Amino acid sequence: MSPLATAHPHGWIDFSIRVMTDEEGVVRGLHHAWRMDPFYSLVVFEELQHVDGVSLEVGLDRLGTEIRNNLAGQHYFTDVRLDGEPLALGEVTEYTAREHDGRLNFTFILPLQTPQPLAGHVLDYQIYDPTYYIEMVHESDNNQPKDDALVLHGEPACELSILIAEPDPELVLQAALLDQDEEAEPGLGRFFAETGRVDCR
C-alpha cells in the first residue's frame, strides 16, 4: 500500500463495512475491514520476518501506520454521499493491521467530518483505488455479497443493498489493455466500484 502505480488490477482487497450510528440514528462514520489478497499478504509477511530485532506484531503496527498515512492523502479510497451530495470525511485515528488466516487484515474507523441523520435519507458509499491498480470488492461467496459485507450498527431500520458496478465496455477494454508501466486515466477505478446503499426513506 505504498504509493501505487497505475494500471489494470494487479491485486485485490475484499472488504466489509459497518455503518456506525448512535441511538438517534445519526451516522458518525464507517468501520472498514479490509483483507488484502493472499499474494500481497505473503510478500508483506516475508518482508516483515526479515527485519532484525522487530517482532511481526511490531512490524504490523508500523505497517498499519504507513498504510493509514498513505490512504489519508487519497481520502482513504472512500467516497460517501447523502442523497447524492458528497460528505466530508474526518481523519482516521483508530486502525489496526493484523495477520489472520494467512492474509493481511487492515481495519479502521473513518469518521464523517459532520455526523448526519439517516432517517428519511439515502447514504451511498464507494470504496476504490482511483488508479484501479487494486480491485476492491465487498466480501462475497459465489460472486454474491455476504450478508455481513454491509451492516448497520444502531438505528434506524433501513434497507441495505450492494449495487454491482456496470462499467461501459470501452472502459473495461481500456483497463484490460493497460500494461503495468502505463498510466490509467485519473478516477478510472470509480467506474468499477461497487456501491453500498443504506436507504432509510
Amino acid 75: pLDDT: 93
pTM exceeds 0.85 for this model? yes
Amino acid 62: pLDDT: 93
Closest C-alpha to 16, from 30, 2, 37: 30
- pLDDT (tens digit per residue) in 100-116: 999 999 999 999 999 99
Below-70 pLDDT ranges, the chain? 1-9, 155-156, 167, 169, 171-186
Q: What is the dihedral of CA 26, 200, 81, 136, to 10 degrees?
A: 100
Helix (H, G, I), strand (E, B) or coil at 61: helix
- pLDDT (tens digit per residue) in 144-172: 899 999 999 876 689 999 999 876 767 66
Amino acid 153: pLDDT: 83
Helix (H, G, I), strand (E, B) or coil at 48: helix
* C-alpha cell read off for 57: 506484531
